Amino acid sequence: MGYMLTALIAYLLGSIPTGFLVAKARGVDIRTVGSGNIGATNVFRILGTPAGVFVLLADAAKGWVAVFLVARWMAGWLYPEAGLTAREWFALVAAVGAILGHNYTCWLHFKGGKGIATSAGVLLALVPIPLLVILAVWIVVFAFSRYVSLASMAAAFALPFAAWVFAESRTIIVVTAVLAALAIYKHKGNIKRLLAGTENRISVKKKTAPEAPKASA
C-alpha cells in the first residue's frame, strides 16, 4: 500500500506538463510546433532561452522532489522504523513514478516528454555522483556534435555503468539501466532523424560586429 501510494503521488507530480503550460501561457501549443515535444529542448527552440531554462529546472525539480521529499516523507510516515533497504525502495518507486508521469502524462492523453530533465532531478536525489559523470558525457558529446538528442542518449547509455562504478546497491544499478533504456526508447524518433540526417542541431553563432558607416565624399 505504501509503495503504491508513493508511486501515485510521484506520478502525479511528474505528470505536471510544465513545457505545455509555459507555452500555453504564451499562446502556443508546444505539441504543434518544432519537434512537437513538450520538453525543455523544444521550448528552448520555440520560446527562447528564459522559457527553456525555466522548463528545464521545473522538470528536474519534479524528479528531485519526488525522490528526496515525497519518498522520504512516505517512508517516515508509513514506516518510521524502516531500514535502509525499505527507504531505498521508496526512493526507487518514486523515481520511476515521476519519470513515467513526465513521459506519459495523464493530462495530455498519456503523451509527454522524453524524461531527461526529470531523470536528472531523480538522479540528483538518488545517485548524485553518477549524475555528474553522465553530465560530463552529455557536455562532451554535445560539444562535438551539437545534437541534444545524441548527447542525451549517450548520457543515458553511460548511466548504468556510472551507477555500477559508484553505487553500492545492485538494485539501483538495475533500475538505472531500466531508466536508461526507457530514455533511449523515448528518443526513437530522434534516432530515425539522426540516421536520415534531418535531426535538428543546436548551432552557436557568433555575432558579427556591424560595419562602420562609410564616410560621405
Does residue 23 contact residue 30 with C-beta atoms inside 8 Å? yes
Look at residue 177 and tell me whether its pLDDT is greater than 50: yes
Residue 47: its pLDDT value, please? 96
Phi, psi (degrees; rounded to nearest 5) at 149: -65, -45
Cβ-based neighbours of 107, under 8 Å, separated by 6 or more = 15, 16, 17, 20
Distant-in-sequence, close-in-space partners of 20: CB < 8 Å, separation ≥ 6: 29, 30, 31, 38, 107, 108
Please report the pLDDT score of residue 217 as a whole number. 37
What pLDDT sits at residue 53?
97
Q: What is the percent of the chain with per-residue pLDDT over 90, rounded to a whole number? A: 80
Work out the average pLDDT over 170-195: 94
What gap in Å lies between CA 53 and CA 48, rounded to an integer? 9
Mean pLDDT for the stretch of residues 151-174: 92
> Residue 79: what pLDDT?
73
pLDDT in tens, 111-152: 999 999 999 999 999 999 999 999 999 999 999 999 999 999
- pLDDT tens digit sequence for 45-56: 999 999 999 999
Residue 21 pLDDT > 80, yes or no?
yes
Q: What is the mean pLDDT of the chain?
A: 90
Provide the pLDDT for residue 69: 94
pLDDT digits (tens, 9 = 90+) for 23-77: 999 999 999 999 899 999 999 999 999 999 999 999 999 999 999 999 989 888 7
Going by pLDDT thresholds of 50, 70 and 90, the confidence category of residue 85 is confident
Residue length, the chain? 217
H-type alpha helices, 107-167: 116-126, 128-145, 148-166
Write down the pLDDT at residue 114. 94
Q: Which residue has the cell 536528472?
A: 120
Asked if the model's pLDDT at residue 187 lies above 90, the reply is yes
- What average pLDDT score do residues 165-175 get? 88
Q: How large is the average pLDDT for residues 170-182? A: 94
